[in-house]
Amino acid sequence: MIYLDSNATTQVHPDVLAAMLPYLTDQCYNPSSGYRAGKAVKKAIERAREQVAKLVGADPEEIVFTGCGTESNNAALFSLANAVGNRKRIITSQIEHSSILRVCEQLEGRGYTVERVGVDESGRLDLEAWKEAVGQEDAGFATLMWANNETGVLQPIAEAAALAKAAGIPFHSDAIQAVGKTAIDLRQLPVDYLSISGHKFHAPKGVGALYVNKNVAFEPLLFGGGQEAGRRSGTENVASIIAMGKAAEMMQLRLDADGHAGVASLRDHFEQRLMAEVDGVLVNGSKEFRTKNTAHLAFENCEAAGLLILLDEYGMACSAGSACMTGKQKPSHVQTAMGYSAKRAKSSLRISFSILSTLEETNDAVEMVKKAVRKLRSVQGFTGVGPVTVYT
C-alpha cells in the first residue's frame, strides 16, 4: 500500500526501532529503581530529553514526557485554566485540533469564556482580531496551533505569541504537526508551553512531550509516584521515550541539512503533476506558509468520500480532513473557518508525505488519484472542459 497519510501517523523509522528495542527486552528496568541497571535506563531517558529539547531549542529540564499529544494539550490547558483566577477568558482559534477544542468546551462548562479567533481564506490567523482578543481585561491565556493538521498551514506563531506576551498573558502552542517538520527555536520566541507528539515524526504512538518554559508555573494533570520531577507521575514509557529522542535527533539532522527539502520536493512534484494533468484541482490554504509534507487539494465535482473508497481499493491511503474527522458527515471546521463552501470542503483530500515516502510511490499515487477522479467524474458528469470554477 502507498501510505500518504503521515499527518495521521508515521511509521516507526527502522533506526528508531533499533534504538528502542533494547528497552523492551534486556534493558527493561524501571528507571526509578536504585540498582545500576535502573540508573542506566534513567540516564537514557535524560539523553532522550536532551534530544527532544534540542529539536525545539529548549533546555532539557523544560521537557516533560507525556503519554501522547492529547495529554500534552490537556495538561497545558488545565494547568493554565487553574491559574487564571478571575481572568476566565481563553483565547484560541477556530481551526484547532479536537484535543484543544474539546478541552475548551469542558472549560466553558466550568464557567470559562472561550474566544475562537478566525482565519483568512489562506488558513492563517486573523492577527488583528487576535490582538483585540488577547488585549481584553479578562483574558487569562492564549493557545494557538503551530501548524494545522488538515491543511498543513503554518500559523503566525511569533506574532501571536508576542501579542499575548504584550497583553501579559501566557501562551501555549499545539505544535504537534510542526515539530520535526519545520524549524522551531523556542529561545527566540515568547512561547510558554508547547505540545509535541512522537508518532507524527517516526516514533511510536502513545508518547508525547510538553515543553514548559522554566520561568512559568505548571500544575500536573497526573499525581502519583512523582516521576518527571513531579510534573507527570506514572512509570515512564521508557522504550517510546528513547524512540522519541532518537526520532528527534534524526529529524533535527535532516532539518539542519536541507530544511526538509526532500519531502517538499515529493509533495511539490505530486501537486504539480496533478494540477497539470487533471482539470479542476485547487490547493487549499497558503502555499507559502505550510509544512513541507502536506498537500491539501480540492477536486472539483468529486466527493472526497468517493475518492477515498476508490483510492483505498487501488492501494493508496490518504484522508479527507484529519484522521479524527474521517467518517463524519459535517464539512471540516477548518475549511468552514477558511470560508470554503461545504461542497469544496467535501471534495478535498489531505495527502501527507514523510521522510520514508519515495518518488516512485509519489508517481504511482498521481496515477491512482487521476484514475479515481476520472472514474468519479464520469459518474458525476464533470466535462473537464472550460475554465475551472473556483468555488468558494
Q: Does 79 bind ligand PLP (CB under 6 A)?
A: no
Q: Candidates 66-74, 351-359, 365-373, 374-382: pick the segment binding ligand PLP (CB under 6 A).
A: 66-74
Kindly tell me which of 151 and 301 has the beta carbon lying closer to ligand PLP: 151
- For residue 253, give every residue at least 6 positions away whose Cβ sits within 8 Å of its Cβ, in sequence order, or none: none
- The CA distance from 55 to 170, in Å, is 22
Q: Is 386 left (phi over 0), alpha (psi -120 to 50) or beta?
A: left
Q: Is 235 left (phi over 0), alpha (psi -120 to 50) or beta?
A: beta
Q: Does 145 bind ligand PLP (CB under 6 A)?
A: yes
Strand partners, 316: 2
- The CA distance from 81 to 93, in Å, is 17
Picking from 72, 70, 68, 63, the residue whose alpha carbon sits closest to that of residue 97 is 70
Q: Does 95 bind ligand PLP (CB under 6 A)?
A: no
Site track 156-175 with ligand PLP (rule: CB under 6 A), x = hit:
------------------x-
- Minimum distance of ligand PLP from residue 117's CB (angstroms): 17
- Minimum distance of ligand PLP from residue 189's CB (angstroms): 18
324 catalytic, yes or no? yes
Q: Does 321 bind ligand PLP (CB under 6 A)?
A: no
Q: Does 51 bind ligand PLP (CB under 6 A)?
A: no
Selected from 51, 93, 155, 177, the binder of ligand PLP by CB under 6 A is 177
Selected from 68, 80, 81, 212, the binder of ligand PLP by CB under 6 A is 68
- Minimum distance of ligand PLP from residue 345's CB (angstroms): 18
Picking from 154, 174, 190, the residue whose alpha carbon sits closest to that of residue 77 is 174
Element housing 258 (H / E): helix 238-258
Q: Does 143 bind ligand PLP (CB under 6 A)?
A: no
Q: Candidates 64-72, 218-226, 241-249, 369-377: pick the segment binding ligand PLP (CB under 6 A).
A: 64-72
Using DSSP bridges, classify how beta strands 281-283 and 193-197 pair: parallel, antiparallel or unpaired.
unpaired
Q: Does 232 bind ligand PLP (CB under 6 A)?
A: no
- The CA distance from 248 to 375, in Å, is 42
Q: Does 293 bind ligand PLP (CB under 6 A)?
A: no
Rounded to a whole number of angstroms, the distance between the first and last alpha carbons of the chain is 33
> Could you list the residues that contact ligand PLP (CB under 6 A)?
68-70, 73, 97, 99, 145, 149, 174, 176-177, 197, 199, 208
Catalytic residues: 324
